[in-house]
Structure 1
Amino acid sequence: MMHEGRVVGDGSWELNVLVTDLKAERKLRVDGDMSIGNVMIKLVESLDVAMDWSDHGFWWPQRNMWLLRTHWTLDKCGVQADAQLHFTPTHKNLRVQLPDLQLVDLKVDFSYMAFNAIMNVCAMLGIRHPEELSFMKKVDERTLKRGEKRGSFKKKKGEKYSSPASSANNSDASYPTTPTPSMMDGTLTTPRSASMPGSPYRSGPLTPGTPLTPGTPSGYNTYPRVPSYNGTSPVSSSYSLSSFPDSPYSDGSNISALSISPAKPSSEAVATLHRPKNYVDRARLNSLWLNSSRSLMEQGIRENDIILLRFKYYSFFDLNPKYDAVRINQIYEQAKWSLLTEGIECTEEEAMMFAALQLQVNLQSAMPQPDMNNANDSTDDIDAALTDLQVSLEGSAKNSAAGDITQIPELADWLRFFKPKKFTLKSYKRYWFTFKDTHLAYYHSPEEASGAPIMRVNLRGCEVTPDVNISSEKYCIKLLIPSTEGMNEVWIRADSETQYARWMAACRLAAKGKTMADATYESEVQSITNFLGLQHPKEPVPSVNVSNINIEPQDFVSQRHVKKFKAKSLTARILEAHANVANLALMEAKLNYIRAWQALPEFGITHFVVRFRGNKKEDLLGVAFNRIMRMDLHTGDALKTWRYNSMKHWNVNWEVKEVLVQFEDEQVSFACLSADCKIVHEFIGGYIFNSMRSKDQNQTLNEELFHKLTGGWETI
């Protein structure tokens, strides 16, 4: 019996395909040896519709996967007669909510791994360093409220975990859902690039009459794509939105909408914000991050869905006002909303300082701003290079003043000391302290400093937390010092801002393993001094007219601070704090806001509820740019810290869904209860990746290395 020139009974069968553009179903007579590419050609020829099909691909809903390797056969992909494939465009409309709560509609490739999609979105929006951002699913309060009762993070009975390394149903482990990206001559090529000879990815048009060799990809592509972002430094290559012709912002007409946000977003957008009540609530939010190694469609994102674009890694590299107007603004907006929703806490004085900076940004945003693009490129680059050279030479210049360039600066002064214990009153005692290398010691008097100290500790790897109140002249440094028993807590109190700034800077550098001979010591001291200076109350500046500005306190400080004061009193305090920053330009105000945000004790710590191996109770895990911490679930206090510089390797045990981290002296194992363990692994790997960036390297964004460090498929 013959059918379409084939003998029925020869092993062929009918494949059901839904063409989503036409909303039409087609049945194709195929066999297991037919390649995906040939099935596409046969389908297009049967449609007999004159249109460009180059952006289309096969989506397999039952397996939740794309069939992108056009030279693979149906048998190799696991496609059988019961399969229902969708022939659908890979580029679809996506509604992206930016950190400033604005929504932009963009065409995004839903077959790309999420990391690739983020790179292209950032390119279209003019945001450099896309490796710092990621996608989050929209906050669903009902989902977040699940598991509020203790123990609800446990795996549900009958629940089946699926590894991101395999397909959603894990029924065809041989077909990779996350193909490894390719690198050619240091230039990033996207997963379906045709520039690589013999590439297994489809990248060309599939219009009727296209000369295709059976089982091979086409050699050209007519679909306009966003150029690959090469991640080069602006020193070596100019950067402008016109480099991305597919961007809706390429003509610059809409760039102000991203670099200068509305002072007050819509009430609907504000209503979508989640206001965490405790550390567990913060941890639940981090379950919404998308897997960077899987495509949007594989993670349940569909056309016209709203997705959140946020800065995921709090290690902002090379913030340059000339090239990063959009990036700086979006970082500022994310910082602002994290404070207003109490995602990160601050003191009352700090809240007034942030409110004052926000008010200054609002005032300056309504004024004409200088065009940063008209500045002389070469002059700016030379000035920047000279500044870097000057900073790098500062430390050695100061040390050579005494004729000995190997001499490390020391600190010695009277400070007050307290070691908190349960059921004891806060009683500080005055001692003579010395600070040398990374070691802190104290004595009864200066005369005893030549002998044995009362206590001497190495601050390398410790946690340094400020506890400052300007109005009450409280300048306290809280130190959590690692020991075999855990973390020993000691408090040191300075008598003045100047004394506090120098000792605080020394402690921060020592925690990183650096001494006061480091070139960044003086700049760290200056940064602390500036931060404190912004919190000093001043009389409002008469030259700055704020009388016509309607200040609604709830738009400038969080609800916790709003409840403490009457609106009129709070407005007066904000205006009083504004006198400190009234002369700042727009970009300066935003950068000062970001620096002050970075100086907060809780900055950059991403929380997860975990259970460490061998423990029955739940703990809080904090992941930061240079360390991970075991923390108290209720208070957020650090119980133990592990630094990345002492880490040997880390990986995921997918069988038991456990993250394993090997340090120089111990191994840490924990199961993540508030999110998929892949998210935790990705945070650690992402921070390691970002720490490898350097201004000295004119390098491309190494996508392959990013996936190796964040993927979790094997031990690093």
Structure 2
Amino acid sequence: MIHVGENSWNLRIFITDLRIEKTLRVRGDQHIGGIMLQLVEPENPKDWSDHALWWPAKNVWLTRTRSTLDQVGVQADCVLHFTPMHKTLRVQLPDLRYLDCRVDFSTKTFASIVNLCKGLDIRYPEELSFCKPIEPDHLKKNFSKLPQKAIPVADSDGTTFIQPAADTNSFIPINSTYNGSNGSLDKQQNENFLCAPVSPYASTPRRGPSGTAPSTPISSPTGTWKQSNNGYTTIDSSSSLGDIQENLACSPRSPSPDVRARLLRPRTLIEKARMNVGWLDSSLSIMEQGIREYETLCLRFKYYTFFDINPKYDQVRINQLYEQAKWSILNEEIECTEEESLMFAALQFQINFQADSHSSKLDVVDSGNGENGTYDDIDSALNELQITLEGPNATTEVNNITKIPELSDYLKFLKPRKFTLKGYKRYFFAYRDLHLHLYKTADDSRRSAPELTINLRGCEVTPDVNLAQGKFSIKLEVSPEGHTGPNSEVWIRCDTEEQYARWMAACRLASKGRSLADSSYESEVASIRSFLSMQKPVQGIAVNVDPRSIDANDYLSPRMLRKASGKAGQRILEAHANVRKLSLIEAKLKYIEAWQSLPDFGVTLFVIKFDGHKKEELLGVAHNRIMRMDLNTGDHIKTWRYNTMKAWNVNWGIKCMMIQFHDETVVFSCQSADCKVVHEFIGGYIFMSMRSKENNQTLNEELFHKLTGGWA
């Protein structure tokens, strides 16, 4: 018999699986692991290895089993939950389908993403993250003015108390249509979900629409999706996990009307900035951020720098990237011109066209298992090895390193000024060693000093092209000498498409600090040529399709639909003639490549206030720089490159972020999201820049958290 001293007390622990409460007589020097062993009855055959103690009032897991109750602060008035660490989470993929997945709610969110992507066959999981579903009301107010989330928790006796939410990225989903009051889905909501529940890991409990007990097993984790009569997907439990991944590599043409109706379409730059309020903190667990079992999170590509895209290994990744790009364009999250919109619509039409015949083509290919197939595999492997050894941008020509490459031609130049009507002026341009030199004539370039010299290193490059009008302009925002003060804006206008491709490629490389000697210059020129050629109108239609049968709502954004004036189907088919020869995977890759070529691609916006300023401004965060931007126009006022950054951290007391550069220090508070979100984006991009072919086999999670965690 155990004799308990006066320093013992009663500890209430609610066992969630059994829905019963136990009261244990404990001491402050008892270990967490010992407490858990007392809860497990030897006669109960249930496997309790996945269970841990959760402290609802403190919103924290007690996973360090060697710690004592005194060390973690548990006292007599505490109520703990003994609950599974792996729980069912409804995940919306980039293609807007839903999966019920078994996810670890106790580990850091980053680790949960890594494990989830492994089951979904998505490489480089560090590029993705979870974000909370946001609603129209979240676009109307900044994060600082939103009501903060407090989680109602039911005690074992039915008493409800308010649990404090995590202090990072917590906000209330107003009038949420994603979850019921008890965290489950009602029958009507469940029918509107495009994808049937599935777990890529193991059978997991699921609460059904009619209140099924949590112990009821979920549908088989190994199943393929089959289209049912009502337009939604069901699971065939006799298939393999590989079939699920094959389905992830090919998405339905459009989601259900209910899912599409919930998509947000930001109308202003400030609303685009507020879209980023929902990103979860990678260094906290899902549970600590207010997410409960059966609730919904969105899985999205967060960092717009995609490493080593390989069609052989990345079919799921490429498809989900394409889907995220598609919906960002259709929802007008990223700006594009009318010609660009039609090009994207044409590529999307080709992808749908090829997807319809993809199965039959696969059957033909699979049946040919003779010698030719073997030689094709060998050739493919040799080509892949060559790309790996030489790099994707390697060319057959050997650069002459003794000669500095130059680019020169007559172009038009404009430096916008207030209160002036002066237009473009013709100069002879010579570009070498990241500097642009302007002369009056070509002869002057050989015997006299330039009229003007512009340093293009780290410049901001924005295209301004209108093929119908023959307009090929390049907007440059360049830092002044010494890198102090706002950016200066200059415009260059080219006469021909070929001229534009070469000078635009040179400017883009200069923005990254690369000269014309870089081996990627010619591939950049070819990419720009291809991007322009896909936008050119073509006479005639390449496929026998009635334009009236095309639902333009699936291919064009609302703004572009209004411009099409009832001829959208005809124009999409005409643009399709440019891309009709592309295979399914080629069309998806072209779509992603064209998406990456848009001026606003890869810039994540936040509403901020700089220290000492009352006016709200925009901060743009990209893969290699951050930008101070005008809130109304989006013009770049100042650019700071990561390679000039010395330190960055967060003052958690006043919720301000400080970034120290070589020549200045900037301090700002974030209005549209928690400052931790900005910090994590910057640290995440620096982590992405460290990836290489040599170390891509192992993911350094410790380094990721060191760069993104804020050292809090």
Equivalent position to 2:40, from 24, 29, 44: 44
CA distance in 2, matches of 1:608, 1:436: 36
Instruction: Output one character per residue of 1:215-250: Cα deviation in whole Å (capped at 9) or x when no partner.
Output: xxxxxxxxxxx9xxxxxxxxxxxxxxxxxxxx9996
Cα offset for 1:91? 0.8
For the pair 1:30 / 2:26, whether they are aligned, the reply is yes
1:492-537 per-residue CA deviation (whole Å, 9 max, x = no partner) reads: 0000110000011111111111100000000000000000000011
Tell whether the 8 Å contact from 2:656 to 2:667 is kept in structure 1 after alignment: yes
Taking structure 2 as the reference length, the TM-score comes to 0.83
Aligned to 2:459: 462
Specify which of 131, 139, 151 is matched with residue 136 of structure 1.
131
Distance 1:249 1:344, change over 3 A: farther
Asked if 2 retains the 8 angstrom alpha-carbon contact of 1:399 and 1:409, the reply is no
**Counterpart Cα distance in 1 of 2:358 and 2:673:** 45
- Aligned to 1:283, the other structure's residue is in SS state helix
Displacement of 1:147 after TM fit?
A: 4.3
Q: In the aligned structure 1, how far is the partner of 2:119 from the partner of 2:267? A: 36
- In 2, the alpha carbon distance for the partners of 1:311 and 1:388 equals 25
Q: Aligned partners of 1:335, 1:659: CA distance in 2, in Å?
A: 30
Aligned to 2:471: 474
Residue 122 of structure 2 aligns with an amino acid whose one-letter code is I
Per the alignment, residue 699 of structure 1 pairs with 697
Q: Say if 1:124 and 1:248, in contact at 8 Å, map to a contact too.
A: no
CA change 1:481–1:276 in 2 (3 A) is same
Aligned-pair CA distance for 1:44: 1.0
8 Å contact kept, 1:283–1:674: yes
Pair 377,65 (structure 1): closer, same or farther in 2 beyond 3 Å: farther
SS of 1:367's equivalent?
helix
| Distance in structure 2 (CA, Å) of the matches to 1:162 and 1:323 | 38
* Partner residue in 2 for 1:496: 496
In 1: Cα distance, 2:497 partner to 2:292 partner: 54
DSSP 3-state at the match of 2:137: helix
Q: Over residues 197-231 of structure 1, what are the superposed CA-to-partner deviations in whole Å (9 max), with x where a residue is unaligned? A: xxxxxxxxxxxxxxxxxxxxxxxxxxxxx9xxxxx
Residue 153 of structure 1 and its aligned partner are, at CA, apart by 8.0
Structure 2: gaps (5+ residues): 150-163, 170-220, 222-236, 367-372
Question: What is the aligned partner in structure 2 of residue 547 from structure 1?
Answer: 546
Matches for 1:618-697 after TM superposition, within 5 Å: 618-697=616-695
Contact 2:465 2:471 in 1 (8 A): yes
The CA distance in 2 between the partners of 1:113 and 1:248, in whole Å, is 34
> How far is the alpha carbon of 1:406 from its aligned partner?
2.1
CA contact (8 A) 1:541 1:582 kept: no
The 1:119–1:645 alpha-carbon spacing in structure 2 relative to 1, beyond 3 Å, is same
- 8 Å Cα contact 1:399/1:408 also seen in 2: no
Distance 1:37 1:162, change over 3 A: closer
C-alpha contact 1:154 1:673 (8 A) present in aligned 2: no
Aligned to 2:530: 530
Structure 1 residues not aligned, in runs of 5+ = 166-225, 227-246
Identity %: 56
1:351 aligns with 2:323: no
Confirm whether residue 589 of structure 1 aligns to residue 584 of structure 2. no
Q: What is aligned with 1:609?
A: 607
| Letter matched to residue 273 of structure 2 | A
Between 601-610 and 652-661, the greater mean CA deviation after superposition = 652-661
**Matching of residue 280 in structure 1 with residue 270 in structure 2:** yes
User: In 1, are the aligned partners of 2:90 and 2:101 still within 8 Å (CA)?
Assistant: yes
Q: 2:573: which partner in 1?
A: 575
Output the amino acid matched with 2:539: E
Structure 1 residues 381 and 647, CA gap change in structure 2 (3 angstroms): farther
Q: Flag the 1:636–1:250 CA change in 2: closer, same or farther, 3 A.
A: farther
1:520 aligns with 2:520: yes
Structure 1 residues 301, 392: CA separation in 2 closer, same or farther (over 3 Å shift)? closer
- Alpha-carbon distance in 2 for matches of 1:511, 1:282: 25
- Residues 583-633 of structure 1, C-alpha deviation per residue, up to 9 Å, x if partnerless? 111000000000000000000000000111122211100000111000001
**Residue 87 of structure 2 corresponds to residue 92 of structure 1:** yes
Residue 410 of structure 1 is matched in structure 2 by 406
Q: 1:74-125 deviations in whole A, cap 9, x for unaligned? A: 1101101111001111111111000000001111111011001101110111
**Cα pair distance change 1:554/1:708, threshold 3 Å:** same
**Matched-pair contact (CA < 8 Å) for 2:660–2:666:** yes
What is the alpha-carbon distance in structure 2 between the residues aligned to residue 34 and residue 28 of structure 1?
12
Aligned to 2:176: none
Q: For 2:117 and 2:436, locate their aligned partners in 1 and report how far apart those are by CA, in whole Å.
A: 45
Name the CA shift for 1:139/1:162 in 2 (closer, same or farther; >3 Å).
closer
AA aligned opposite 1:556: Y
* Partner SS state of residue 309, structure 1: strand
Q: Could you tell which deviates more after superposition, 69-78 or 444-453?
A: 444-453
In structure 2, the partner of 1:260 is: 250
In structure 2, distance between residues paired with 1:44 and 1:610: 51
Residues 164 and 143 of structure 1, relative CA distance in 2, 3 Å threshold: closer
Which residue of structure 1 lines up, in the alignment, with residue 218 of structure 2? none
Deviation at 1:407, TM superposition (A): 1.2
Alignment of 1:510 with 2:510, yes or no, is yes
Instruction: Tell me the CA shift for residue 697 of structure 1.
Output: 3.0
Any idea what the Cα deviations from partners look like across 1:16-46, whole Å, max 9, x if unmatched?
011111110110000101101110111113x
User: Partners in 1 of 2:147 and 2:397 — Cα distance?
Assistant: 58
Pick from 402, 422, 427: which aligns with 2:423?
427
Question: In 2 relative to 1, CA 36–392 (structure 1 residues): closer, same or farther, beyond 3 Å?
Answer: closer
CA shift, 1:426, in A, is: 6.0
Q: Report the RMSD for the aligned CA atoms in angstroms.
A: 2.5
Contact 2:477 2:490 in 1 (8 A): yes
Q: Tell me which amino acid in the other structure corresponds to 2:125.
A: P
Q: Deviations over 1:567-596 (max 9, x none)?
A: 2x1111111100000111100000000000
Which SS does the other structure have where 1:6 is aligned?
A: coil
Aligned equivalent of 1:380: 380
Are residue 81 (structure 1) and residue 76 (structure 2) matched?
A: yes
How many pairs align?
A: 618
Distance in 2 (CA, whole Å) between partners of 1:154 and 1:633 is: 24
2:309 corresponds in structure 1 to: 319
- 1:385 deviates by 3.2
Deviation at 1:657, TM superposition (A): 1.2
Pairing 1:365–2:362 present = no
**What's the offset of the Cα at 1:438?**
0.1
SS of the residue corresponding to residue 72 of structure 1 reads: coil
Letter in 2 for 1:467: D
Cα distance, 1:140 vs. partner?
2.6
**Cα deviation, residue 422, structure 1:** 2.2
Q: Secondary structure at the match of 1:307?
A: strand
Counterparts of 1:523 and 1:249 in 2: how far apart (Å)?
A: 43
CA shift for structure 1 position 391 = 5.9
Give 1:470's aligned amino acid. Answer: L
* Structure 1 residues 549 and 319: CA distance shift in structure 2, 3 A: farther
Deviation at 1:137, TM superposition (A): 0.5
- 1:396, distance to aligned residue in structure 2 (A): 9.6
Which residue in 2 is equivalent to 1:199? none
**1:531/1:615 Cα in 2 relative to 1: closer, same or farther (>3 Å)?**
same
